[in-house]
């Protein structure tokens, strides 16, 4: 395992890609509404990239055909945008997007509940957000990745939800996916020790049911779904380890 440790100057460059990733993430999330197609969300990313002279990091990554991933309901991650997929009331829509600029990538995702009133579904969304917060709160120099995964898993388990096992967070930087692996579960005191300058994507994928922890890939070769077709939520931030903790690189610009 070769984990890239970035200089302060490199983190500064990556901060820009991450700031833009956060901006387009929130543009996409705000556009999610009944009647909108996921293809229209994809077009927003294309427009943003043209306007700002940047690249959509996911496009053509291992042949991926979209400019972001839009995954709905039982789709966990890697949903391919399509002009035929119309968002309807009650949908749980995950918009996952990354911008490539100055040699670096961002990677960030949000879940939007479209006209959802079922309190269990809303609790799933809030719990997934809390999982991401707990993972980030655990991060810092000297911390093991097992500690981070454990912190995330505890929040999900306490709420009675499942944690996807075979898709995980990852190092991110010059490439979208790099070492180390960042699972959303773990054992304290195990795995890699974090150091200042490491940049990782933390991305809990939490499922309504325990059986939903197991996933399949659809015949399109990309879309990951829960095996029992239960709902899944997903939040993701790109985070840099600092001398005294960590910095979330994909916060919205107006975050207080």
Q: Which string of x and - marks every residue 47-86 that binds Co ion (by CB under 5 A)?
A: ----------------------------------------
- DSSP three-state, residue 249: coil
> 64 CB contacts (<8 Å, ≥6 apart)?
58, 78, 80, 222
Q: Which two tokens stand for residue 234?
A: 């997903």
Q: Is 78 in the site for ligand MF3 (CB under 6 A)?
A: yes
CB of 89 to Co ion, least distance (A): 25
Q: Which stretches within the chain are classed as H helix?
A: 8-31, 38-52, 119-138, 145-158
- DSSP three-state, residue 213: helix
Please state, in angstroms and rounded to a whole number, the distance separating the CA atoms of residues 57 and 175: 9
Please state, in angstroms and rounded to a whole number, the distance separating the CA atoms of residues 23 and 5: 25
Angstrom distances, CA of residue 63 to CA of 56, 60, 66? 13, 4, 9
Q: Is 178 in the site for Co ion (CB under 5 A)?
A: no
Please state, in angstroms and rounded to a whole number, the distance separating the CA atoms of residues 75 and 81: 12
Considering only 33, 36, 61, 179, the residue that binds ligand MF3 (CB under 6 A) is: 61
Please state, in angstroms and rounded to a whole number, the distance separating the CA atoms of residues 24 and 45: 7
CB of 116 to Co ion, least distance (A): 22
Interface segment toward Co ion; rule CB under 5 A; list 9-17, 155-163, 190-198, 228-236: 228-236
Q: Is 201 in the site for Co ion (CB under 5 A)?
A: yes
Considering only 75, 96, 147, 153, the residue that binds ligand MF3 (CB under 6 A) is: 96
Q: Which string of x and - marks every residue 108-137 that binds ligand MF3 (by CB under 6 A)?
A: ------------------------------
Contacts of ligand MF3 in 133-162 (CB under 6 A): none
φ/ψ region of 143 (left if φ > 0, alpha if ψ in -120 to 50, else beta) reads: beta
Please state, in angstroms and rounded to a whole number, the distance separating the CA atoms of residues 206 and 214: 11
Considering only 48, 58, 104, 185, the residue that binds ligand MF3 (CB under 6 A) is: 58
Strand partners, 238: 201
Q: Which string of x and - marks every residue 199-218 that binds ligand MF3 (by CB under 6 A)?
A: --x-x---------------
Interface segment toward ligand MF3; rule CB under 6 A; list 22-30, 57-65, 123-131, 208-216: 57-65
Q: Is 107 in the site for Co ion (CB under 5 A)?
A: yes
CB of 125 to ligand MF3, least distance (A): 18
Residue 64 interaction partner, one of ligand MF3, Co ion, none, beta carbon < 5-8 Å per kind:
ligand MF3
Residue with tokens 């939800």: 161
Sites of contact with ligand MF3 (CB under 6 A): 58, 61-62, 64, 69, 78, 96, 107, 176, 201, 203, 236
């Amino acid at each position: 395992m070769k984990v890239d440790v970035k200089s302060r100057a490199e983190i500064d460059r990556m901060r820009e890609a991450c700031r833009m990733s956060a901006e387009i993430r929130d543009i996409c999330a705000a556009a999610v509404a009944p009647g909108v197609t996921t293809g229209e969300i994809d077009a927003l990313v294309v427009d943003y990239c043209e306007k700002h002279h940047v690249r959509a990091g996911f496009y053509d990554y291992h042949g991926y055909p979209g400019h972001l991933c839009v995954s709905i309901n039982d789709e966990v991650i890697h949903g391919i945008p399509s002009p035929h997929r119309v968002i309807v009331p009650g949908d749980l829509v995950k918009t996952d997007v990354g911008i490539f600029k100055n040699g670096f990538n961002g990677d960030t995702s949000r879940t939007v509940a479209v006209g959802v009133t079922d309190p269990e579904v809303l609790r799933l969304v809030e719990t997934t957000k809390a999982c991401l917060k707990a993972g980030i709160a655990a991060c810092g120099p000297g911390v093991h990745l097992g500690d981070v995964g454990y912190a995330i898993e505890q929040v999900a388990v306490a709420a009675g939800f499942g944690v996807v096992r075979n898709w995980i967070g990852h190092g991110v930087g010059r490439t979208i996916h790099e070492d180390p692996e960042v699972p959303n579960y773990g054992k304290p005191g195990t795995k890699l020790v974090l150091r200042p300058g490491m940049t990782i994507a933390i991305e809990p994928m939490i499922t309504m049911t325990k059986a939903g922890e197991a996933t399949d890939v659809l015949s399109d070769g990309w879309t990951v779904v829960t095996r029992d077709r239960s709902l899944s939520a997903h939040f993701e931030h790109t985070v840099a380890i600092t001398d005294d903790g960590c910095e979330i690189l994909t916060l919205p610009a107006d975050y207080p």
